[in-house]
Every structure is written in structure tokens, then in C-alpha cells.
């Protein structure tokens, strides 16, 4: 039976999520990739145990994570049953619904019908009575926002989620949702968006500043730009890389000579800071205190250990910030 590391809380930092009482670890583990039906279960379990042993208390899932859709939740449910679940009260478990999950008109979007049914399915797959955070995974222009907001509010009142969040909503959409949640008294605490040195959309659309000013947490995904901000592609595209095996989330056309030149320059900055490139990319996300947590993905336990190592980094100097901006934005 799994026995957690007694010193698991000594290294991790925990940040308050917006104006709520909930704290999230600076590094959270996402189960978007490598937890599906075709992946090795022993490796999944080792990654979850390693994460918790390093103080990562937050595990982020969605109904359609796999492949096949639902398999990541099923596998995580088995991991909970085999040992991690003994620490349920120390865990933050989140799931989402919004993208296509099952056939027909009720397996996608933002309707109350879909959101309630999807969460019920997710809870069964994971063997849970509730999730800590339940997100609407994407903006749905075909469903009135009022319906989606009321559905999420009802889910909290039913006891099936403690807090609610939204994902992939821009600033204007977030502002409107936040207004409705406030009127209902719903514990809306977080928005999940993509953010990296190479992808600064939450800065340009104003969401980052708005959330910080209005007590809304932000958790970011794809901080390593699907692996580009690592050493993985510096000497060509490996045969077992996501580009070669999938190509869905990262296309070969994105790995240009110009991009690789920027990555090499960023790696030099990281080396001078005493960090790996991946560690620096994660540190950069958390550089100013406006981001609650950064979601990492992993294919093996050592990557999780390396990611948590970024917590030991010193703050960025103004010169380092300028150099990183010059490299990545020009």
C-alpha cells in the first residue's frame, strides 16, 4: 500500500486561489496526456505518487481526457482506489465538461443537461462523491451563458463540486460570467487558460490583469508549448515525439529553424540561472505572483521532479526579463 512522503509539504509553495479560502500548489499535475487507455498504468500510478510526494496536491482532469475519452478519469479512479485515495482530504481533484464526449446533441457544449450528466459520469469513473473544482471547459456560443452559470451553481448546491471554474474564456466572457456568479453567490474562483513564454494571449487580451484585480485565480496549461520549450526538439524531431505520434496538438510546421534558434537562446538564459529550460519556462509563468498555479504534463516521474525543482529558483532580474522578451517576442 502506498505511503506518502512525510516531508511532502516542505518544498512546495501554495497560493491562494483568487479571493477564496482555497490554496493550490504552485505546480499542479494535468492528466491531459499519458493517462489514457493505451498508456502504461504502472507509470501513471508512479507519476501520481511522485507528484503527491513532492507536494503536488492538485490533479486536473476532464471528461474527455484519454484516449479513449473517459479513460484518464477511470485510470485515476483506480489509482485513488489502490492507495492515493487514502489522502482524499489532502487532494484537490478537478474535472471539466464542454468538449464533445458522447454522440448526439447532449454530449457537448454548455447546457445544463450535458454538464450535470457529464459530472455524474466523471464521479462514477473516479469513484468520488464530489470534485473540488468543476469547470466549464470552453465558451459555448450556442448556449445562453445564464444556463451554463445556473447549471454550475446548481452543481455546487447539490454537493457534487465545492468550487466552479471556467476554461478557455477570454476577458470579456470571464467578466460576464463573473458578474452572474456573483449575483448567485456561486464560489467561482478560477479560469484555466493556455500561457507560455511563446503564448501570451492572456496578457494581450487583458485577462491576466483583470483576474488579478478582481480576485479570480488563473491556472495555466501548456506552459512548455507542447514540449517546444524543452531540449526535446533541439536536434530534430524524435520518432516517439508527440509530433510524430499524434500531430494533433503540435504540428511539425510549428518547429521551424527560427523557433529552434529562439529555444537555444532561451536555454542559454536558463543555464546562466542554473535551471533547465523547462524549469525556467515554468518559473517565468509564476514570475509576478498573478498566476495561482501552473499545470504540467508528464510522461515519466523524473519530469515531475525536474518541474518542481523550479521552486528553488531565484527571482528574475529586470535584465533577464528583458532578454527573454527580446528573444520570444521578436
Per-residue pLDDT of the chain (330 residues; tens, 9 = 90+): 899 999 999 999 999 999 999 999 999 999 999 999 999 999 999 999 999 999 999 999 999 999 999 999 999 999 999 999 999 999 999 999 999 999 999 999 999 999 999 999 999 999 999 999 999 999 999 999 999 999 999 999 999 999 999 999 999 999 999 999 999 999 999 999 999 999 999 999 999 999 999 999 999 999 999 889 998 877 655 545 555 455 455 555 667 889 999 999 999 999 999 999 999 999 999 999 999 999 999 999 999 999 999 999 999 999 999 999 999 997
> How far is it, in rounded angstroms, from Cα 219 to Cα 292?
6
Element containing residue 260 per DSSP (H, E): helix 257-272
Query: What is residue 242's predicted lDDT score, i.e. its pLDDT?
Result: 54
From residue 205, give the alpha-carbon distance in Å to each of 56, 95, 170, 173, 202: 30, 25, 7, 11, 5
Strand residue runs (E) in the chain: 14-16, 23-25, 27-30, 58-60, 92-97, 131-136, 161-167, 188-194, 217-221, 293-296
> How far is it, in rounded angstroms, from Cα 29 to Cα 7?
19
CB 223 within 8 A of CB 295: yes
Map grid coordinates 460570467 to a residue: 177
Q: Just give the CATH number of 14-233+277-315.
A: 3.20.20.100
From residue 149, give the alpha-carbon distance in Å to each of 104, 162, 219: 22, 15, 20
Query: What is residue 221's predicted lDDT score, i.e. its pLDDT?
Result: 97
Amino acid at each position: 500500500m502506498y505511503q506518502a512522503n512525510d516531508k511532502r509539504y516542505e518544498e512546495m509553495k501554495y497560493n491562494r486561489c483568487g479571493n477564496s479560502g482555497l490554496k493550490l500548489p504552485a505546480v499542479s499535475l494535468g492528466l491531459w496526456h499519458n493517462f489514457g487507455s493505451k498508456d502504461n498504468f504502472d507509470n501513471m500510478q508512479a507519476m501520481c505518487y511522485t507528484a503527491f510526494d513532492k507536494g503536488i496536491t492538485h490533479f486536473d482532469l476532464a471528461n474527455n481526457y484519454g484516449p479513449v475519452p473517459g479513460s484518464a478519469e477511470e485510470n485515476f479512479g483506480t489509482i485513488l482506489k489502490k492507495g492515493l485515495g487514502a489522502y482524499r482530504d489532502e487532494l484537490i481533484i478537478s474535472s471539466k465538461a464542454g468538449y464533445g464526449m458522447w454522440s448526439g446533441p447532449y454530449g457537448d457544449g454548455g447546457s445544463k443537461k450535458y454538464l450535470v450528466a457529464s459530472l455524474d459520469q466523471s464521479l462514477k469513473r473516479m469513484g468520488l462523491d464530489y470534485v473540488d473544482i468543476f469547470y466549464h471547459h470552453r465558451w459555448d456560443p450556442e448556449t445562453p451563458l445564464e444556463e451554463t452559470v445556473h447549471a454550475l451553481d446548481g452543481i455546487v448546491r447539490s454537493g457534487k463540486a465545492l468550487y466552479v471554474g471556467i476554461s478557455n474564456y477570454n476577458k470579456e466572457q470571464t467578466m460576464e460570467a463573473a458578474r452572474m456568479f456573483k449575483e448567485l453567490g456561486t464560489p467561482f474562483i478560477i479560469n484555466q487558460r493556455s500561457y507560455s513564454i511563446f503564448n501570451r494571449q492572456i496578457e494581450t487580451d487583458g485577462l491576466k490583469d483583470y483576474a488579478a484585480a478582481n480576485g479570480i485565480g488563473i491556472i495555466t496549461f501548456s506552459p512548455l508549448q507542447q514540449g517546444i520549450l524543452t531540449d526535446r526538439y533541439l536536434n530534430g524531431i524524435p520518432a516517439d515525439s508527440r509530433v510524430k505520434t499524434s500531430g494533433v496538438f503540435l504540428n511539425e510546421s510549428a518547429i521551424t529553424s527560427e523557433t529552434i534558434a529562439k529555444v537555444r537562446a532561451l536555454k542559454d538564459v536558463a543555464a546562466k540561472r542554473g535551471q533547465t529550460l523547462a524549469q525556467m519556462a515554468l518559473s517565468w509563468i509564476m514570475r509576478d505572483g498573478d498566476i495561482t498555479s501552473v499545470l504540467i504534463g508528464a510522461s515519466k516521474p523524473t519530469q515531475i521532479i525536474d518541474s518542481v525543482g523550479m521552486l528553488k529558483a531565484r527571482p528574475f532580474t529586470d535584465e533577464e526579463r528583458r532578454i527573454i522578451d527580446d528573444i520570444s517576442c521578436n
